[in-house]
Amino acid sequence: LARLKRPGFHRMEIQKTTWDVPHRYANLQAIGSGAYGTVCSAIDQKTKEKVAIKKLYRPFQSLIHATRAYRELRLLRHIQHENVICLLNVFTPDPTLEKFQTFYMVMPFVAQDLGHIMKTKRLSNRIVTYLFYQLLRGLKVSDLKPGNLAVNENCELKILDFGLARHTESEMTGYVVTRWYRAPEVIFNWMHYSQTVDVWSAACILAEMITGQVLFRGQDSIDQLKKILRLTGTPDSSLVQKMQSKDAQSYVRGLPPQKKKNFKEAFPGLDDGVIDLLEGMLLLDPEARLTAKQGLSHPYLAEYHDPDCEPDAEPYDDSFESLELAIGEWKSLIHMEIMTFDPDHPSMTAM
């Protein structure tokens, strides 16, 4: 075996990848992988809890990777919400900043995601309503799709992953499933977008939970837009005027005009309450679209809505998004975040 990087760590090979983790984490088993990292389940021998450990693939190979890694770590440290996954620990096996190349994030383990559940069973109306209430309650900064929503045996939902939250379609080549749930202003970069991009995604997930079918299953970006406009109709002139891209304006103006579909016909059998909610959440104009707070107040969620238990997000400092830093500077910031994290009091180190 190669020399271990830090005392107190042990090394193993998992799916042809080297993992160096503290001795407190045992029984590592690969449970998933994506373009940006691999996730293993493990037992935290200190707490006796099952956890998920995420290792990022080469977080400093490019400026985009370094910025994305910092964003994800900052968000995980900041958000303290029972419907959003929390950060239990973050560590690196590399002994110094000069040798710092990789890091791992530890989060609670949740066995199933909503995408898997929807493929294996039909959800009752009551469960759909409860899950959707939790989803709206937890909307913060995210990249929503069913695979990013963990659900336990008590139907408790947590939003899992938001490292890609600010990425446009041009940066998401190959991410077909993600596209199905993305708001049109994100896919086509029509304008600066707001938190209501998540509301659009949540509406797509709600429709899928109810019908068992993906709402907008586009084959590519253009096909995605066609499927969206069949339901919503083509953008009106006031929305086209708001589009910051002249190319987008001319493209949209050249589309054959379509009228908005009657949602009762598009979703036969659904009650008026959920139809009204979907209509408000699937508006093309992000400024007219319902906010998460307005969605929570909708009569469809009256059974669960409680303003006293729906706290607003703590102010989040995202001023770093405007910084133009080199990879080494992002690396220093991430290293500082790791060195100042206290795994015994994770909520105390949130910012």
Residues 6 or more apart from 278 whose CB is under 8 A from it? 203, 206, 207, 263, 267, 270
**Angular region, 16: left φ>0, alpha ψ -120 to 50, beta rest:** left
Which pair of structure tokens corresponds to residue 207? 């429709």
Give me the long-range contacts of 45-53 (CB less than 8 A, separation at least 24). 49/108, 49/109, 50/109, 51/25, 51/88, 51/106, 51/107, 51/108, 51/109, 52/106, 52/107, 52/108, 52/109, 52/110, 53/21, 53/25, 53/28, 53/104, 53/105, 53/106, 53/107
Is residue 223 part of the annotated active site? The answer reads no
Helix axes 327-339 and 63-78, enclosed angle (nearest 10): 30
Cβ-in-10-Å burial (0-12, 13-18, 19+) of 137 comes to buried
Q: Considering 20, 44, 113, 143, which one is annotated as catalytic?
A: 143
Catalytic residue numbers, as ranges: 143
